[in-house]
Structure 1
């Protein structure tokens, strides 16, 4: 920044805030640059619409560059692809906007100045109507009387009365998603290219997908308050007694209000305290009379197999309230439950779950792609800025966002189908970043015109005063900022997110159909399952009829056909034939339906039961399942007894049988063994074999009953939970 305060005249200037001082002095940021006067006011460009000319003129004043020179820079610096006549006006507007925003955001308090918010919103309006053939705005005004910031020569930084080009934001004018996604990410604090669409959806949830200035202005003002709250915890006036490591700072604190503490549960014990999230860990500081314990740190940066998820909790270990976050790692002996009591809902818990997972997943991303230096800091800075935006939206509009609509980039990548492609693209993007010219060779070839790239999110945190540039090892001289938006280009991150969201849309549509067909009640679900498995059940019943030999001619024909198939070695083609038949049926149905909706499956509903009858049915089902599990355990225990010769005579017989089977398997071809097993199993009910088969089955059951079960000793673990 320059020496504007030395060259300006306080007597003819209004000074209302530090943000206003910045915008007054930005015109003089370079003492050697030529100052513009009323006579040198920016001239309109015929190709642009009135609102676009207004924005370009304000950018020209911020940069202290005439509009003609800006246009010349655009034509010489940008490739021919972005200078096509159909997109020239819009791309030139983007070029001016990005350069101006890069300069404006060098100051710490730019979010506090309404003229900055008005300028960025006008940029979005101009993006939607950049050309001269676009319909102009309904209202034009010479100045902004309430918020005009005047320079030394009597004209406003953003609105010039001499050019008659300033355009007040009309309350009827709104911004669409494309304009927002092209302008907002140019300021890393305002939006991230990965979550910009979700941010727009959150801001326009009640305005038919169009963004009003009042909503945008409220969001930025709340974002400024959140940033100030984070900065207030950095100095000696911090409300916590934490011993933070170098580069660690507090992102949010909960439990400071006595009537709304955070409860920490371990086993059956619980005590209140304050929970703090930093960019590296969760810290819990116990509160109460006589408690002098230091805050407990739960690390999120190291690879300790951490698990963070929503969990039920309650007094004395009871699982009653769905308002807790569970933390588990190899460094804690028991899971830690952090409960967020509130009278209605669990939004408090959901917020802390989301932001804790964001920091955890950011560090996992760093470890997975082995990021170091400025790349690591940039990856973590993205998570930090996402949390600040999430907190601002939550406090300003009290919104509850789903996983697919989250404002946290790493959470979004984890929740979207194919989200790993987003992280891979992000890692490729971070590979172009360097902290110093000495590291230039470590990232491969770069565009010679672009040179070294600065991390945009990390740089934004440094400019806001949350991180120091010395600690971040950033040198802004003679290097380019790696903006997520480029003039006339689509960021690969944006493409990866759109592809993942398309898959997510199909997943949500499929899940909606799943939710629609869910039925309640055990009887109803059994009826649905029987109807769906009707072809399988009927096929099994037909096989049972054939195996019972009630119709000897059909059974004989079936045995001969299957035996001949096995003997000829055609059995391997049977499964392939079934797959081919199923594929042909599916293709035929697809051709016959031609996109028509599938007819609903009609099922006869069972008689309705009251609550008591349903409980009795559930009890009977559980008892039946328990009996099946017991029978399975008994079989396994008897097999164990045979293996360890609990009954030596039976064990000897089984061993001889296994040896005989092994010899037969080694000597006889496999197809003959399959044929032998099939004939033995399918001809048991044959009249010639029925009597002998029944006798042998009886002997086998009697032999099995005589096998003792191996003993079992249940050892109860001692209850070590603290009372």
Structure 2
């Protein structure tokens, strides 16, 4: 009784002081509910003293959904949670998450819950209250601003409803939703986003229930997107030199194209995305008569096709349509690669497909908001993002391990009828009334899991998937910083890049000049000492230690440089800019470069053709000498120890230009050159491809 009376007095005081006007700056649902709680005779059983007033309001809503009192929820939490979750400093937030997750687990089972504004408001209020769960934390928020949500709160609550967000793309989604609101999520934007999700779900459901592709698609195959039905936004298929307008349809297994006839569509062509056919889907350039002018197409290539197929998405400005289709096609392709790689089967396979489907639904909802002019669709699709992030393979590996463990748990608990809080992506698709799940909806009384786990989020803890995503994002930030430096040092112009390369190669060139000086015996004393010292190293078999010492000295140099350069700027490479070149000079330089490249290719071909002539004895006398030389070399390789052979080769090569041997070396090189020039090249006959000629005629 004293506790109940104390609670009633607190509630009456809050109502009189209008303590909840901090949230919206006007009469809000919190004010109304606190007044209702003050008048309710059961206020004592629905008030948790450790929670802030607004947190108590949210817990009360959760208790209404669950049909139990707040105190009963607290007792359940104390029984199920570990001691680390019940620490005084963590109790408020962990208990709030526990109540929210349990209520959401039950709420998402209602068909069409996204259309319910109360549900949308509840999920947003959960995020708001997550930032101020404890009784002493409410004063941290400004009372003059509308309630907004941080990325931390969004990342904890939103993934509990798989249709709203996914652990992998949660931060990117939040960044997209808050691109115009300074990094804080407003309810107006959040509400529009959830309404967009509802419309995208209805659209996808209508498409899948239609008669499209009824004669060719599989029983479980569901339609995800259609394009090319509007004459102002056609889709063009390019195969070889032929081009056909038509309708493009993406399902969760394949890509279909129906060529447009006079009054109907032709039989659809199927391009498989589910089987391992070494598919390559990439952006492509198209243009009239095979030219590559317009960056508005997607290329599909696989081992089942003789040549790539190109789908063009014409539009007056930009290539937004192409980027969208490229992203969603790759998402379906990548999810099937994930399924095939980790051999995902059963309900886990349906969950993986559902994760990809929900990602596409989110992209469609974000498109309706028109928050930004440019949108990177890959960042909102989980399997696309894993393909880009460093360590994305580790994220997929963790996801596969979690799916496998859930599958094992389901099989072990199949006969248990206790309630569960586990909400997977596959459940969500089924609960929304759509038909995308590959299997029948899973009963909520079919297995038993901890009430501290909801899908991919855990009360008061971070699951392995979240840890893998955070680690990958840290590495991605390093990659972004490194890429910024790379973009900063990219130079324009051939002459400028050659000047930079020359400056970078200067130490190597100087070292090469020193070696050449020793090789040509410009200073006989230095060359003699170097020859004797290197010969001793080879004779003793110390060559491997020389390379080891070189690696060790390089490591020591890097460590010393790091130690002595703390707090100092990085030494920049200074390059003398070459004199500016006119357009004509640049064209001449390019022409000269191409001519030199052509000459080098010709010389290379001649060398190869002469070796071919030697191999097939087109010049018998030269071939005999070459064969004898190869026999001698093979005999030495077979019977002479390696280090002795290396020593002989080194001494022979290094002493060629020594004073005693210089004259004989010049005579030998002259004889070898004359012998090489006397060898004829093997003949070459150019043949034209008949297939190409036939295509050109067509």
Judge same fold: TM > 0.5, yes or no: yes
Superposed CA offset, 1:139-181 (max 9, x none): 99xxxxxxxxxxxxxxxxxxxxxxxxxxxxx852211111101
For the pair 1:84 / 2:87, whether they are aligned, the reply is yes
- In structure 2, the partner of 1:584 is 556
- Asked if 1:105 is matched to 2:79, the reply is no
State the TM-score, normalized to the length of structure 1: 0.85
Secondary structure of 2:281's counterpart equals: strand
Give the 3 Å change call, closer, same or farther, for CA 493–80 of structure 1 in structure 2.
Answer: same
C-alpha distance after superposition, 1:426-469 (max 9, x if no partner): 011111334996x3389xxx9x9989896611111111111277
Does residue 658 in structure 1 map to residue 658 in structure 2?
no
CA shift for structure 1 position 509? 0.9
Report the secondary structure of 1:252's partner residue: strand
- d(CA) in 2 for partners of 1:461 and 1:368? 24
1:671-690 to 2 correspondences below 5 Å: 671-690=643-662
Which is helix-richer, 1 or 2? 2
1:66 matched residue in structure 2: 69
Q: Give runs of aligned pairs for residues 247-396 of structure 1, distance below 5 A.
A: 247-289=220-262, 292-396=265-369
Partner of 2:445, secondary structure, is coil
Aligned twin of 1:10: none
- 2:547 aligns with 575
Cα pair 1:50 1:136 within 8 Å, conserved = no
Aligned residues: 651
Tell me which moved more, 258-267 or 104-113: 104-113
The Cα shift of 1:669 comes to 3.1
- In the other structure, the counterpart of 1:456 is 424
2:131 matched to 1:128?
A: yes
The answer for the alignment partner of 1:504 in structure 2 is: 476
Given the superposition, is the C-alpha separation of residues 713 and 451 from structure 1 closer, same or farther in structure 2, using an over 3 Å criterion? farther
What residue in structure 1 maps to residue 3 of structure 2?
none
Over 3 Å counting, the alpha-carbon distance change for 1:658 and 1:453 in structure 2 is farther
- Pairing 1:476–2:444 present: yes
Structure 1 residues 50 and 577: alpha-carbon distance in aligned structure 2, compared to 1, 3 A threshold: same
Alpha-carbon contact 2:417-2:446 (below 8 Å) kept: no
Distance 1:625 1:648, change over 3 A: same
* Native 8 Å contact 1:434 1:453 kept in 2: no
Provide the rounded CA distance (Å) in 1 between the counterparts of 2:48 and 2:422. 32
Match of 2:120 in 1: 117
- The 3 A distance-change label for structure 1 pair 468 and 615 is closer
Point out the more displaced range, 41-50 or 102-111: 41-50
Give me the CA root mean square deviation.
Answer: 2.6
Superposed counterparts of 1:428-439, under 5 Å: 428-434=401-407, 439=411
Cα shift readout 1:540-598 (whole Å, capped 9, x = no counterpart):
11122222223323223332332333333333322222222222222221111125331
> 1:171, 1:212 within 8 Å by CA — same for their partners in 2?
no
CA distance in 2, matches of 1:586, 1:45: 59
Q: Distance in 2 between matches of 1:470 and 1:589?
A: 59
1:89 positional shift: 0.9
**Which moved further from structure 2: 238-247 or 611-620?**
238-247
Contact map agreement 1:51 1:137 (CA 8 A) in 2: no
Q: Which residue of 2 aligns with 1:711?
A: 683
Select the residue among 563, 566, 574 that pairs with 1:594: 566
* Secondary structure class of the residue paired with 1:87: helix
> Residues 258 and 269 of structure 2 are in contact (CA less than 8 Å); yes or no, is this contact kept in structure 1?
yes
Moved more, 620-629 or 385-394: 620-629
Q: Look up the SS of the partner of 1:472 in the other structure.
A: coil
> Are the aligned partners of 1:432 and 1:453 in contact in 2 as well (CA < 8 Å)?
no
Q: Secondary structure at the match of 1:406?
A: helix
- Residue 533 in structure 1 maps to residue 536 in structure 2: no
**Alpha-carbon separation, structure 1, partners of 2:563 and 2:654:** 40
Query: 1:327 touches 1:335 (CA, 8 Å); kept in 2?
Result: yes
Give, in angstroms, the shift of residue 262 of structure 1.
Answer: 0.8
Structure 2 residue corresponding to 1:620, chosen from 570, 573, 592: 592
Q: Structure 1 regions of 5+ residues with no counterpart? A: 1-36, 141-169
| Structure 1 stretch displaced more, 473-482 or 339-348 | 473-482
**What is the CA distance between 1:699 and its match in structure 2?**
0.8
1:14 corresponding residue in structure 2: none
Q: State whether structure 2 residue 580 is matched by structure 1 residue 608.
A: yes
Q: Which moved more, 1:524-533 or 1:561-570?
A: 561-570
Q: Residues of 2 paired with 1:451 and 1:658: CA distance?
A: 81
Contact 1:49 1:129 in 2 (8 A): yes
In the alignment, what sits opposite 1:208? 182
After the TM superposition, which of the residue ranges 564-573 and 63-72 deviates more from structure 2? 564-573
Hey, what's the Cα distance between the residues in 2 that align with 1:478 and 1:549?
87
State the alpha-carbon separation in 1 of the partners of residues 55 and 626 from structure 2.
Answer: 91
Contact 2:227 2:235 in 1 (8 A): yes
Q: Deviations over 1:629-676 (max 9, x none)?
A: 221111111111111111111111111112222233334333332232
Map of 1:217 onto structure 2: 191
Tell me if the contact between 2:413 and 2:447 (Cα under 8 Å) persists in the aligned partners. no
Q: Measured at CA, do residues 239 and 258 of structure 1 come closer, stay the same or move farther in structure 2, by a change above 3 Å?
A: farther
Superimposed CA distance per residue, residues 77-103 of structure 1 (whole angstroms, 9 cap, x where no aligned partner): 322221111111111111111111112
| Corresponding residue number in structure 2 for 1:180 | 154
Is residue 467 from structure 1 mapped to residue 429 from structure 2 by the alignment? no
Alpha-carbon distance in 1 for matches of 2:72, 2:659: 104
State how far apart, in whole Å, the 2-side matches of 1:397 and 1:588 are: 53
Q: For structure 2, list consecutive stretches of 5 or more residues without a partner in the other structure.
A: 1-38
Deviation, 1:333, is 2.1
Q: Deviations over 1:652-703 (max 9, x none)?
A: 1111112222233334333332232222222222232222211111110010
**Residues 116-140 of structure 1: CA distance to partner in whole angstroms, max 9, x if unpaired?**
1111111011100001111259899
Does 1:522 find its partner at 2:494?
Answer: yes
- Within the candidate set 604, 608, 623, 1:632 is matched to 604
Q: TM-score, normalised by structure 2?
A: 0.88
Distance 2:659 2:470 in 1: 68
Residues 654 and 48 of structure 1: is their aligned pair in 2 closer, same or farther, counting only changes over 3 Å? same
Query: 1:544 maps to which residue?
Result: 516
Cα distance in structure 1, aligned partners of 2:394 and 2:149: 30
8 Å CA contact 2:227–2:249 kept in 1: the answer is yes
1:320-344: per-residue Cα shift (whole Å, max 9, x none)? 1111111111222221100111111
Structure 1 stretch displaced more, 653-662 or 695-704: 653-662
